Structure 1
């Protein structure tokens, strides 16, 4: 059976964006006495059954963090896009986006669905269909961005929990700084994934034009 890298990277996205942030929050929750006391039915620590329960909780909580992160990004989308361009990628992103939108408009001018697919999704779809092996480059950045998005939500949740639990100020400051860092890295990696997708499409088009 031949290996399929594009399917492998789907697993990578799940691992970084769901399991790792979920495991972090699960670890913190299991360390809080009030919560641990309510888990009297938990198996003995470090047994096979205990690891199964921890893995399940990590996966479930990870999906919750992932979905909350998606909702937050959707709600802040207009605000976020403006900061992405102004702080992190500026003119390079704008030029790439304008070029891709022009190509998309030309390619889909006869389609009634051209307003449904945004420029980035259009690039991803074309790369997946025409150059699936190159999609791994985009997915690397996507995996990082989704990891930091879920981590941001998880750290905010832990911060709020810490406030109610009366944690030390130093711990809360560390969590706040970590959340800010995670958010900035999310925006940065998300932008890089878009630029990489734009670049692949524009390069492929340039090469096709030269071959004619």
Structure 2
């Protein structure tokens, strides 16, 4: 039987890859599908074949969209530092202090505070990890949706469908805003869970053996 954490990893794949890929395929297939079906792949002749081709294209295109969307993380990091949402006693800095007190200095270079917090939650508190995974799924969906909107607007404008192109372009700012908000909340929520676990005694430094 699948564990809850494994289920939510599947949800992330669905929302971040397959669903955006399906949206892009539905919009782009009527315009550029003939470049793939026929010259490269045989045209399906049955309904089952059409669905198989649609799902395959959706999954493949979804991965390309996910890859393109991953570059938005750099812009997110720059914007987050500019807006500076973390204060002197923020959840991020508290979680960083907890991490630094529990791991060696050399180990802190291997993973950042969020990666360490998420790993701890998966190992110590799967229910809290599921909460973070849900927020991550939301953020990655809207990140991919932003790329889909950009691609769709280009396709609509090239097809002389200005109204649809403007609508797709108008969805870019709210998609980025939702992606930014969901990602920021997912990291903050991971830090809050970590701090609560630490205060409740769920995390403690390992006792070092006495020198002989």
Global fold match (TM > 0.5): yes
Say which structure is richer in helix.
Answer: 1
8 Å CA contact 1:123–1:198 kept in 2: the answer is yes
Compute the TM-score of the two structures, normalised by the length of structure 2: 0.85
Aligned residue pairs: how many?
Answer: 198
8 Å CA contact 1:152–1:179 kept in 2: the answer is yes
Compute the TM-score of the two structures, normalised by the length of structure 1: 0.85
Equivalent position of 2:59 in the other structure: 59
Name the CA distance, whole Å, in 2 between partners of 1:78 and 1:147.
18
RMSD (Å) for aligned C-alpha atoms: 2.1
- How many angstroms does 1:23 deviate by? 0.3
Equivalent position of 2:44 in the other structure: 43
Moved more, 55-64 or 110-119: 110-119
Equivalent position of 2:154 in the other structure: 160
Flag structure 2 segments of 5+ consecutive residues without an equivalent: 203-212
8 Å CA contact 1:18–1:62 kept in 2: the answer is yes
Equivalent position of 1:113 in the other structure: 107
User: Residue 118 of structure 2 is aligned with which of 124, 147, 151?
Assistant: 124
User: Residue 136 of structure 1 is aligned with which of 112, 130, 138?
Assistant: 130
8 Å CA contact 1:93–1:195 kept in 2: the answer is no
8 Å CA contact 1:9–1:136 kept in 2: the answer is yes
Equivalent position of 1:198 in the other structure: 191
Distance 1:167 1:27, change over 3 A: same
User: Residue 97 of structure 2 is aligned with which of 102, 105, 118?
Assistant: 102
